[in-house]
Structure 1
Amino acid sequence: MTGPRVVALGDSITLGVGDGVQRAWGHVGWAAHAAAGLGASSFLNLAANGVRAREMLQRQVGAAVAARPDVVLLTVGGNDVLRGDFSPADVEDALGSAVGRLTRPGRAIVTVSLDRIGLFDLAPRRVAEAMARRIGEANAAIARAVADTDVIVIDGATLLSSLGRRAWHIDRIHPSPQGHRALAGAAVEVLGARWPRRSAIPAPPPPPSAAAVAAWLAVNGVPWALKRSRDLIPQVTMVVARELRDERRSARA
């Protein structure tokens, strides 16, 4: 039996960011590991770092349809949550349109709902709560977008929470090598009725050295923090300030 043609699209999680500290993105990560486990006859990863739901629809779906895949693997919504102009409606509309274009008889589509963003566990409680609400709103949008379709949704929060801190990459935003492998294993399992597993998911690499961690943070972590400090953080601060103001007004009423 020939393995399925697999196409992956979406954001940095599908691209493989977090699966170690290397930059061989597109050939690592949960989607790549799942494709290998399925014995894919071909694998095309169209995902890109920083992509939002609308950008996935505009830039990736056409190429994915043209590749005529048997299996589509995707993650999206995380970058929408991390932007100041986050809109659950935009996530729902874009993902719903993408699914509509990708759906074909016999084609399987697998996506992943979002886990909490571990980075914000280190933030003040109000900020962490505001970001948790955004994650909940994004997941609700994903659920609405795929309602009444055959899209398979892997519960990312439940799956990754079972790993504890081992689920997170250095940046506490992306899955770790263990997290990526857990997602890949779940994808292979839900697709097993039609495409039985052909090979085992590879073991994770050894933990990075202190020097590798420091280098990664300097090259990737600091620039990201500076960029989001001009976008996300001011808006989240305003949301928290508005909530506190509303609570004080309610207390005085």
Structure 2
Amino acid sequence: MSRDLIRFAALGDSASCGVGDPTPDGWRGWAQLLAEAIGQEHPVSFCKLAVAGATVADVRRAQLADAVAHQPRVASLVVGLNDAMRASWDPAGIREDLLECAAALEAQGALLVTVQFHDHTKVLGLPGLLARPMRARIGELNAIYAEVHERHGVLQLDLRADPLIQAREMWAFDRLHPSELGHRMLARRVGELLNAEGLRFPLPLAACTTAPSTRRERARTLVVDVAPWLGRRVRDLAPWAARETARRTRVALHAA
């Protein structure tokens, strides 16, 4: 790739919109760090469309058209964990939406970056009753992204293969979002993929540049964000887990 204008569109949820990496100007995050790094060698037009809480369907409905209109040479599509944590889980719909997004971005000419998700239940420290359904859903989500990769030849960041992904310091206090260090790691990993494709630029800095959160800020996050989130996920996942436990019990009794 030459040193022409690089249009970059970031589609997705809270991870791509930068939650966990606060600055005086708002959330920054791995996609913005990557855009700034690309900007050291190329003119850049960065379109951050990712929104906290977005599902795959939200991305298709509310982000895809704007992304295509931006005419990106590089686009990131990292979304699905919110779907995996909700009672509305619909793998068939997720597959259809992700394939539609990938096809539209490929048709526009974008070099698309997707993901293979790690086992986030280990980061969250979820008990087995809740971890099992979420882990199974992440496996289904990864299978869909593997199909996207096979059909559209996208670049894929495999977080499962990164030994750093489970490290506590890679995650913000809420353990839901990457810390600044985690965002920087993600930006560097995606940067390495783009470098390998011929888009040359220096990788984002690995060292953090902002002060860690205070005890008061962490306490506020726990009360305002983490506790309500856990309550919602228990309500979403517990019925599925109960049904799966009952099913396994019936299978075991039948086998006996």
TM-score, normalized by length of structure 2? 0.86
Q: 2:59 aligns with which of 56, 69, 82?
A: 56
Shift of 1:109: 0.8
Shift of 1:232: 2.7
For residues 1-253 of structure 1, the aligned pairs below 5 Å read: 1-20=3-22, 24-25=26-27, 28-39=28-39, 41-104=44-107, 106-118=109-121, 122-159=125-162, 161-162=164-165, 164-192=167-195, 193-198=197-202, 200-201=204-205, 203-204=207-208, 205-250=210-255, 252=256
Q: 3-state DSSP class of the match of 2:162?
A: helix
User: Is the 1:52–1:79 contact (alpha carbons within 8 Å) kept by the matching residues of 2?
Assistant: yes
User: How many corresponding residue pairs?
Assistant: 249
C-alpha change, 1:21 and 1:4, in structure 2 (3 Å) is: closer
Larger deviation: 80-89 or 4-13? 80-89
Contact 1:96 1:145 in 2 (8 A): yes
- Residues 107 and 202 of structure 1: is their aligned pair in 2 closer, same or farther, counting only changes over 3 Å? same
In the aligned structure 2, how far is the partner of 1:228 from the partner of 1:22? 31
Deviation at 1:185, TM superposition (A): 0.4
Deviation beyond 6 Å, 4+ runs, structure 1: none
Secondary structure of 2:221's partner?
helix
| Distance of 2:110 and 2:94 partners within structure 1 | 22
Cα deviations by residue, 1:153-209 (Å, 9 ceiling, x for unpaired): 100222264552222222222222222111110111111143211463363233322
What's the Cα RMSD here? 2.4
> What are structure 2's unaligned runs of at least 5 residues?
none
C-alpha displacement of 1:21: 8.8
User: Where in structure 1 are there 5+ consecutive unaligned residues?
Assistant: none
Contact 1:118–1:172 under 8 Å retained in 2: no
- Matched residues in 1 for 2:249 and 2:212: separation? 41
Equivalent residue letter for 2:32: A
